[in-house]
Amino acid sequence: MDNLTMSIADHNAVGWRFDNTYSRLPNVFFMQARPATVREPKVSVLNFRLADELGLNLSVLSPEAAANLFAGQLLPDGCQPIAQAYAGHQYGHFTMLGDGRAILLGEHRTPSNRLVDIQLKGAGQTQFSRRGDGRAALGPMLREYLISEAMAALGIPTTRSLAVVTTGEQVYRATALRGAILTRVAASHIRVGTFEYMAARQDDENLQVLADYTIARHYPQLVDAPRKYAEFLRAVIDRQAALIAQWQMVGFIHGVMNTDNMAISGETIDYGPCAFMNVYRPETVFSSIDQNGRYAYGNQPAIVQWNLARFAEALLPLLDVNQEPAVSIATEILGEYPTLFQQYWLAGMRKKLGLKTDEADDMGLIQSLLDWMQTSRADFTNTFRDLSEGLPTAERYQDSGFQTWYSRWQERMSRDGVPITEAYTRMQAVNPAVIPRNHRVEEALSAAEQQDDLSVLHRLLAALTSPYQTSVDQTGYRDPSPDDGHYQTFCGT
């Protein structure tokens, strides 16, 4: 285990099956890269459940071998490390970017024949680092691990986290922090910004190569479709509308919805200053750098449409050889987004309220509840969970405004003609009892960073594993912090 490449025996024992399709694209899409040497890698957390899903057997590795593998010190046979090129609109401003601190080891083929990216985040400088050190700190990497796994448990499309290892070295941000590397698993790391990169280079030939590759990988039903690229745009818009509606259903705030943080696959990607809303306030924003609230909870649906417009602009040369009809096609398809999002959101909210049928006034019923929640500063998650568990008895539900709404809701449910217990059961399947409460996340990260105590993190992960079921593991994890209004998150770059 002292060489930089895993032996064939070790490789076969773990079960890696690399098939690196992206690195077979033209060189303009990436640059060769190699993880930096680190002083003393040590495992912080391994995701054995995810490894099993991927067909990987991590139990054959010693702790030292696992640490070296996920710190990039031992490279699995068959991987081809690269840094991907992309651009992005960051807070509305266009920048040429690329993987400045992430290295794609390659694509692993799972037992179900699914192709997934295996990426090391925080693995050192690449040719895209732009004066950055290419490193990552332990706290942000554990945050991504924690939140991405919570999102997966909630049933929301997301990248996953396979491991976090410390490097035995410090990284310097505002202060000296413990260095760490996250292993991220994704359907792919193709972003809106990847298309923007080709468009900015005015490289129509490789733009088409990228589109064809992405369609084959993520939208294979469109490979032989007429007007393939228009249908590709439509399909991406549909997936993003569905994804953001799911974010809104659980109060998730991404925090940095730049176009380089928007995956074409439709997965949630890049968990930086993310957090979950507690008190229902559409203007909620936690990120320390989002001072104008561009990416606030209530703005997320509109920001997705703005990002999709940038994607459509990049695709214009493929939509028609002439710009005017290309713009007309893109504009028409983009115009479908508001209706799509509204349909996904309304369907999700009906489920949260146990409604089985559709009625014209359902939107009014939903909005009335949200208005009461905002006025009374009610907790978003707990309100819906309390409704799903029967008649709420807490003092906050005794005011006349809520009681009037509650009677209206009960009457509406009665028109569905199903037993109320059945409605409550359906509601409990979509209204989580537990989410990653911000103070609990900080408690876990602080214990890991400052005391090298990962037990707090593991208890929180256990509580988040089955968020729609009430269990003893959730004791103490359902209540929000009383001073959450002053909570801030930080990007960690």
Active site residues: 260
C-alpha to C-alpha distance for 427 and 445, rounded to whole angstroms? 32
Distant-in-sequence contacts of 364-371, Cβ < 8 A, 24+ apart: 365/405, 365/408, 365/409, 365/412, 368/405, 368/408, 369/405, 369/409, 370/280
For 95-149, the DSSP string reads: EE---SSEEEEEEEEPTTS-EEEEEEETB---TT-TT---BEEHHHHHHHHHHHH
Which residues does 1 contact at the CB level (< 8 Å), separation at least 6?
A: 10, 62, 64, 65, 68, 74
C-alpha to C-alpha distance for 129 and 36, rounded to whole angstroms? 13
Tell me the Ramachandran region of residue 93: left when phi exceeds 0, alpha when psi lies from -120 to 50, beta otherwise: beta
Report the first-to-last Cα separation within the chain, whole angstroms: 31
Query: Per-residue b/e over 216-251, b at no fewer than 16 CB within 10 Å?
Result: ebbbeebeeeeebbbbbbbbbbbbbbbbbbbbbbbb
CB of 260 within 8 A of CB of 193? Answer: yes
What 3-state class would DSSP assign to 75?
Answer: strand
